[in-house]
């Protein structure tokens, strides 16, 4: 897939040019593709209400272990505009048992669980060894394929091995790199393979030019936006807890990098949501 021919030079983007005074609602509803609602200092109902006031119609809350995955699945079942991803995070993959993986597989079969993740590899931290992480990741790839759910990948300092294992196992039809952290070359590899890249608030950081270069290289139909809340808070709120209602800051910076109108980017994100998860904005 070709890079968007209308994209402007991302080196010309000043993240501080985005209006710092207010979160202006988006003109076309999108969704938060990756959030940890269980970690926020507000109720789920408040988080959803605030998000929808900002043009964020739905939230995907993500599990990282069995308790948080069970919470995510239950919360999605209880709230119309909340969906869930379930998995064992690579940092939690030490000696993960077959029984634990079967619990995740069972949760993944629930109707409002639309993703298997976040799974993947994290070589930045050493909470779990590489062998344990890779075994767990391979198992999650199999669960995603068996259930038909999207695979949501945590990839930190492990690009080569993540791509290799996807090739070895045979990637699911729907793959998302959460909080995409690769460069433009990595973005082009993902584009060639049809992998979706989800960008978080760190794309707005002053020192994130390589990430903006990657965004510029990513096709419009392979882009999502997320918070990873309460982490990755976008400029101008960096340093405060993140939440879904702050996504408009990220989206507007992304649209500027891509050289498209905000409503066009939102429409593309919503279409990708329908394709991957069965819902859009």
CATH of the domain at 133: 3.20.20.140
Residue 3 forms part of a structural domain: no
Phi, psi angle pair for 175, to nearest 5°: -130, 130
Structure tokens of 248? 């408009």
Q: Give the Å distances, CA to CA, from 93 to 22, 63, 120, 126, 133.
A: 40, 13, 10, 11, 5
Residue 201 forms part of a structural domain: yes
Decide if pLDDT at 233 tops 80: yes
Q: Which domain holds residue 216?
A: 10-276
Residue 41 forms part of a structural domain: yes
Residue with tokens 């999650």: 140
The β-bridge partners of 83 are 60
For the segment 210-218, the average pLDDT, to the nearest whole number, is 98
pLDDT band at 3; cut points 50, 70, 90: very low
pTM: 0.92
Residue 162 forms part of a structural domain: yes
102 Cβ partners below 8 Å, 6+ apart?
none
Residue 200 forms part of a structural domain: yes
pLDDT band at 280; cut points 50, 70, 90: confident
Domain count, the chain: 1
Residue 92 Cα to chain centre, angstroms:
19
Residue 1 forms part of a structural domain: no
User: What's residue 22's pLDDT?
Assistant: 57
For the segment 4-24, the average pLDDT, to the nearest whole number, is 46
For the segment 215-234, the average pLDDT, to the nearest whole number, is 98
Structure tokens of 183? 């460069």
Residue 4 forms part of a structural domain: no
Residue 5 forms part of a structural domain: no
pLDDT tens track for 68-100: 999 999 999 999 999 999 999 999 999 999 999
Decide if pLDDT at 9 tops 50: no
């Amino acid at each position: 897939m070709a890079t968007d021919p209308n994209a402007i030079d991302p080196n010309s983007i000043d993240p501080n040019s985005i209006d710092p005074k207010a979160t202006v609602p988006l003109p076309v509803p999108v969704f938060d593709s990756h959030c940890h609602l269980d970690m926020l200092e507000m109720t789920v109902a408040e988080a959803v209400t605030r998000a929808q006031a900002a043009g964020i119609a739905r939230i995907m809350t993500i599990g990282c272990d069995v308790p948080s995955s069970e919470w995510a699945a239950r919360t999605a079942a209880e709230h119309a505009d909340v969906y869930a991803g379930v998995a064992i995070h690579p940092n939690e993959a030490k000696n993960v048992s077959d029984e634990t993986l079967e619990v995740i597989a069972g949760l993944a079969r629930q109707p409002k669980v639309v993703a298997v993740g976040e799974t993947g590899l994290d070589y930045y931290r050493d909470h779990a060894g590489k062998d344990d992480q890779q075994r767990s990741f391979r198992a999650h790839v199999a669960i995603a394929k068996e259930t038909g759910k999207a695979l949501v990948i945590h990839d930190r300092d492990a690009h080569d091995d993540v791509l290799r294992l996807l090739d070895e196992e045979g990637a699911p039809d729907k793959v998302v790199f959460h909080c995409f952290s690769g460069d433009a070359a990595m973005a082009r590899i993902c584009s060639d393979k049809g992998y979706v890249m989800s960008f978080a608030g760190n794309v707005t950081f002053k020192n994130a030019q390589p990430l903006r270069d990657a965004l510029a290289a990513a096709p419009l139909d392979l882009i999502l936006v997320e918070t990873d809340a309460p982490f990755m808070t976008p400029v101008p709120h960096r340093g405060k807890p993140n939440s879904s209602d702050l996504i408009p800051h990220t989206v507007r910076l992304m649209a500027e990098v891509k050289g498209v109108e905000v409503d066009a980017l939102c429409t593309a994100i919503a279409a990708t949501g329908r394709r991957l998860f069965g819902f859009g904005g």
